[in-house]
Amino acid sequence: MVTWAVLPNALTVTRLLLVGPILWCLAQGWAVVALLLFVLAGVSDALDGYLARRLNARTALGAVLDPLADKALVSGVFVALAVLGDLPWWLVVLVVGRDLALVAGVGVVRWAGGAFAPRPTRMSRLNTVAQMTLLAAALAVPVLAPTLLAPVVTALVPAVAVTTLVSGLDYGRAALAHLRHARRSPTDGNAGA
């Protein structure tokens, strides 16, 4: 029997499936459709987290799919906008590089220090908001008001760069703390024996 508890994961899968059409629309020059699909994906991101909490429907699958969908959406649109010349490549390298470093870092820490699931920090949440706002503004420039939105995009680029760097450092600090704790724990446990 299907329950409401599957709704958050269904929204996450929908967001993941929207990445391809968004990128295809950008490649075809269909800016309005790309913007609408991106907004839909953003709404699904907010809604799936809310519903998972509200319905008490957090799952292991959702814990994997949600960040995967987020990374695919953000990285894909950043790369597409850089290819189109709407965002600087250095920012794309910074954003995508941070995400790749996080994935690799989690893998290394899990290998070296056991279970590790970094929790989002305030800065990482701010970074997500800044990135999504920048992408939405950059997508909206050709659709809505180029003269109004182009300066907004220009102003958001350094804000995204700073929040990306700081949130990456936050995650790195959490990983190092986890490793230090994991190395001390066996010794501490033996000391009491």
Tokens (6 digits) for 99: 């995400």
Residues ≥6 apart with Cβ < 8 Å to 25? 31, 33, 34, 37
CATH fold for domain 4-186? Four Helix Bundle (Hemerythrin (Met), subunit A) (1.20.120)
pLDDT tens digits, one per residue of 119-177: 778 898 899 999 999 999 999 999 987 888 899 999 999 999 999 999 999 888 887 88
Q: Which of 23, 147, 12, 3 is nearest to 76 (CA)?
A: 23
Q: Look at 38 and 62; give whichever has higher pLDDT.
A: 38
pLDDT bucket at 192, cuts 50 / 70 / 90: very low
User: What is the percentage of the chain residues whose pLDDT exceeds 90?
Assistant: 48
pLDDT tens digits, one per residue of 102-118: 888 777 777 876 776 77
At residue 117, what is the residue type?
A
Q: Can you give the pLDDT at residue 113?
A: 65
* Extents of the domains making up the chain: 4-186
Q: In whole angstroms, how far apart are CA 21 and each of 35, 44, 69?
A: 11, 15, 14
